[in-house]
Amino acid sequence: MKTVSVMHGQPYDVVIVGSGPSGATYARILHEEAPQLRVLMVEAGPLLSEQAGLHVKNLADPQARAAAQLASQGPVTSLSPESATPGPGRPGTFLLRRDEFAPNAGMPAAAMSSNVGGMGAHWTCACPRPGASERITFLDDDLLDAAFLEAERLLSVTSEAFEDAPFAAEVRRRLDGEFQRRGPAAIQPMPLAVQKHPDGTVTWSGTDVVLGPLGAAETRGDRFELRDHTLCQRVVHDDGHVTGAELKDLTTGAVSIVNAPVVVVAADALRTPQLLFASGIRPRALGRYLNDQPQVISAVRLPPDVVEATTVGAARNSGVSWVPYTDEEPFHGQVMQLDASPIPLAEDDNVVPGSIIGLGWFCATETVEENRVEFDENPDHYGMPRMSIHYNLTWKDLRVIDEAKEAVTRAGKALGTFLDDRPPFLLPAGSSLHYQGSVRMGQHDDGRSVCGPDSQVWGTAGLYVAGNGVIPTSTACNPTLTSVALAVLGARSIVDRIQ
């Protein structure tokens, strides 16, 4: 039997569960707009660096970077790194199926990270705005656009960091000639969360950039506390109101309850509904409408005459171009040069920087209630309810994927020569890491959503959800900017509520 110690009184105004970009957004906005509030942030994983939430790509030492990625790969590696070995997934993540207690039907590549900063310590930093039907129509356009501007400020988003990357202009010229897009859907540099320095080097935005002064212990002050290796086991609530959170120190096993009138659950699209389920908060839509973005990839080499005619010099940075989503072509393309590509490229040591191009097309899929993450009373490695994922593509999804393969083929032929004889291929479901919809936002409490437009859970005052799981629409664009924008709106609603 576990021993629970109760901290009496009202030590915190807000508890934030999860330290990724969306949880950090709540902390930052509350700090800026209501600095008198006492905020506690808890994270089940470890602190990877002195600067909380630092992107591991900014760690210059390869061994330090590898160690940080390994420590992020779940409860086994974060608590016993000396006995851990790299997993089969993307560095810094662990597959759900690695848990022997987690059946995983339909999404074999489902993965997550467990560390301070969440996926914000490992992501590609792509921050496109949603377009056309990707946008949330029941939110006021001006309000949403203002939230996007604020999200871009928090993430330090720019489209200009790699304008001088080798061949970037030529890549976009060739893509434009093939796709002939105009207006907001035109071929353009990908907006990225990155800061470029005068010497040409870049700093990738991790969650530390969102946290701002809260990311460093010496600048936090006494109104914000961050605890790593701390698992929230349950949101405590009574008569439809949040009263606090039950926390477990994973290093000692001690369990305590902290009191707070507001709890924000920003664990990720799989673990946020898991915590609500464990807390006995189970609206009909919880875990349902789970949405992935099927990912079609390939790689090409620019023609020799283009490479030979261009002076590259000592270029350090790779270009990233963007083929935006449209309702007529419901997918979006990331065209990533050389080391920015998410897939293995050439093994030739003499490859000219920027001349090898990775093509990744993300597809929008239908929002289907039956696609879901379910939970039962059997424990996972953290002692939380075991997950099982049920996910299938519709006939319309399969048609969109085929159209995306054709688009990648067109893009590849316009750019150069494919690296091998394989046609563009679909990665296993879950590879995108862009899961959405599991705690989706809605305009009305009609059983088809978990939270309202302010991200507050229906029927539980003071409980907010955050992250990609809140996004209710079918999207193809990278979701982080949208989830941060929604977190801005949610945080400001808390400020209005408390003040």
**241 an active-site residue?**
no
Name the amino acid, one letter, at 28. Answer: R
Choosing from 55, 122, 237, 434, which is the catalytic residue?
Answer: 434
Catalytic residue annotation: 434
